[in-house]
A and B are shown apart, each in its own frame.
Chain A
């Protein structure tokens, strides 16, 4: 099938080129010798033919189903979007309030994750202390923990009657649950492991001998980290931060459990979407569309890093 398929494809490819390429096809001899530019032949028939015929159906069908499964809901979202009332929906104060709060809290949670997550990743990657495996497991547990459970756990620790929370309240008058700061805490709890895992992986891949070289030049371990390691792993930190940010932006379970759902104070976009779906589905779609746009922007930002790997 490959053979017969190729040549017509080739020919069809060449015809638009005009008289010159047709002249090339003149005699059998010249065709063999100058059968079109090689790059064109590669791009044309043979390759496309191989893809169509070379993949077993048993793999191709599930794969296509997978693509459909992952993209169809998003397409449906676009199809059902009330494009006419969209501008009105998006400019409503409630939407902007939720979006602003979401972006603010996700960014703050990412900042918190960076400040304590990067040193934590360094510790896990570079210092060989007893129980390191256990610490790593505990630190990454929120990654697999249902966020609602995380929210309950945060309440037990930092709630008004929580183990630490009661002291925070009594000594400093600080209450975290059901405040904007609580949203940041809940999001950071869920998102930080993504950053830690990503940065630790980058650190492990980075050559620790650069730190040794810095040490022989008189740099303390902290100076070596700040002036050598940090710049070297900056791309990994950026990727981890984006990942954590995206996770924080979409955080729902821990937030609603720990911080509640007060518009303007703790109601982030995902919460607003969920609530709107009960009363005003069109508004929910509009809000979802905004989050989808943000996600696509994030993916575009990471495209060089992750999508070119293939």
Chain B
């Protein structure tokens, strides 16, 4: 399943990167619709400390784990913390909400220091992973809970809550208890509940993880619209690259408690800097020393690229750009030719992904028919070629 998203995301990435004309199609890629209206999104994300937005350096030390993540987010911007499980994303989110105390760093929101404030007096709204809607309250009272705590009378709070539910298209479900709501509805109630306190910082922890694949698509699109409408800072945490790409303006990739890369979704997808990101976006990634069109890898052969660079670089190419042959191809124009051995095969969406070892360890995608014709099996010797035009080199 993750393979499907991965390949789908790769498609959209490739489309944006104009690297490959091989695939395409009208998938639910990051077609930036209404968000364009909101103004610049891919640039001017720099935030001065002491002004509007979030400026934080979150340091949390616990046991042998150390989280140290710097975050600067402008109002109206949606940032996704993306990373594998156990990377510290949720800890970062909890630290922002005040549920986990900082052991160092700082946390400023709209110029105000928050790091000493308890969670109940921070202007923060949280949508938890499994929503944590209070099971004994109706949807309406769940949403009214925040306004009530902020001093509204029961009637006022309910009126506000009703308005929020209406806005999120849930007016018909106001009287329902959480267990009567579908996953998508529960998520919207949780969003309404978080928004009803007018937070200056909205936090979403794996907002789509609790949904099944079918609901996910619809909810993701809907959530993106709501996030686009939100005028303050939004930070979401996810391990799903597609969710991150669709929902966020900017990604911050966290691995082992540290930020390893940040940038726009398309930038990160095109220029992955760690194996984790490369795997997420479905690219083969290598690091080497460039000299003109040639990149000499630290261990292994040289690669020919179209870019002309010098110094340390990354080289990336998608598995679909790899062509496999059982015998050494003659007369092939590809200059990137390596002898490899099939290490493993697995189905990957409607394709077969071959995991190759040898001169250059790489992943290659091919159709089921091609895999049969080539008689691929673990241990089989193959020749892999990649056209220089299919590779992409960029400075480290």
Contacts and interface: CB of A to CB of B under 8 A. Distances in A.
Contacts of B98: 215-216
A203 to B, nearest CB: 15
A213 B132 contact: yes
A127 to B, nearest CB: 15
A207 B129 CA distance: 14
B197 A213 contact: no
19 contacts: A210-B134, A212-B99, A212-B119, A213-B128, A216-B120, A216-B124, A216-B125, A217-B146, A218-B120, A218-B121, A218-B150, A218-B197, A219-B145, A220-B149, A221-B120, A223-B149, A231-B134, A231-B136, A232-B134
Contacts of B132: 207, 209-210, 212-213
A220 B98 CA distance: 13
Q: Which 6 A-B pairs have the closest CB atoms?
A: A218-B149, A217-B146, A213-B132, A215-B119, A231-B136, A216-B126
B134 A216 contact: no
B50 interface: no
Nearest to A212: B99
Q: How large is the interface on A (under 10, 10 to 19, 20 to 34, 35 or more residues)?
A: 10 to 19
Of the candidates B97, B118, B145, B150, the one having the most CB atoms from chain A within 10 angstroms of its own CB is: B145
Nearest to A213: B132
Interface string A282-303: 0000000000000000000000
Contacts, number: 59
Contact of B197 (A210, A217, A223, A231): A217
Given A217-B194, A218-B149, A231-B134, 6 more contacts: A212-B99, A213-B128, A213-B134, A216-B98, A217-B197, A232-B136
B149 A217 contact: yes
Most buried by A among B97, B118, B136: B136
A287 B80 CA distance: 71
Secondary structure of the A contact surface, majority rule? helix
A214 interface: yes
Contacts of B197: 217-218
B135 A232 contact: yes
A213 B126 CA distance: 8
B193 interface: yes
A120 interface: no
B143 to A, nearest CB: 10
Contacts of A104: none
A228 interface: yes
Interface in B83-129: 97-99, 118-122, 124-126, 128
A170 B119 CA distance: 48
Contacts of B99: 212, 215-216
A235 to B, nearest CB: 11
Contacts of A217: 120, 125, 145-146, 149, 193-194, 197
Interface string A223-261: 100011001100000000000000000000000000000
Contacts of B97: 212, 216
Nearest to B135: A232
Interface of A: 207, 209-210, 212-221, 223, 227-228, 231-232
A215 B135 contact: no
Contacts of B120: 215-221
Nearest to B128: A213
B251 to A, nearest CB: 24
A218 to B, nearest CB: 4
Nearest to B122: A216
Contacts of B134: 210, 213-214, 228, 231-232
Q: Which of B118, B124, B134, B150 has the most CB of A within 10 A?
A: B134
A222 to B, nearest CB: 11
Contacts of B136: 231-232
Nearest to A215: B119
Contact of A218 (B128, B135, B146): B146
A216 B341 CA distance: 54
Nearest to B125: A216
Contacts of B135: 232
A221 B120 CA distance: 9
Nearest to A216: B126
Given A215-B119, A217-B197, A232-B136, A209 B128 contact: yes
Contacts of A209: 128, 132
A231 B136 CA distance: 7
Contacts of B124: 216
A167 B99 CA distance: 45
Contacts of B126: 213, 216
A219 B118 CA distance: 10
A216 B145 contact: no
A217 B196 CA distance: 9
Interface in B263-299: none
Nearest to B123: A218
Contacts of A223: 149
B149 A216 contact: no
Contacts of A219: 120, 145, 149
Which residue, of B97, B128, B132, B193, has the highest number of chain A Cβ atoms within 10 A? B132
Nearest to A207: B132
Contacts of B193: 217
A210 B126 CA distance: 12
A212 B93 CA distance: 13
A228 B132 CA distance: 11
A227 B157 CA distance: 15
A126 to B, nearest CB: 14
Contacts of A210: 132, 134
Q: Which of A218, A223, A227 is the most central at the interface, judged by chain B CB atoms within 10 Å of its CB? A: A218
Contacts of A231: 134, 136
A259 B135 CA distance: 45
A217 B150 CA distance: 8
Contacts of A215: 98-99, 118-120
Nearest to A227: B145
Contacts of B128: 209, 213
Contacts of A207: 132
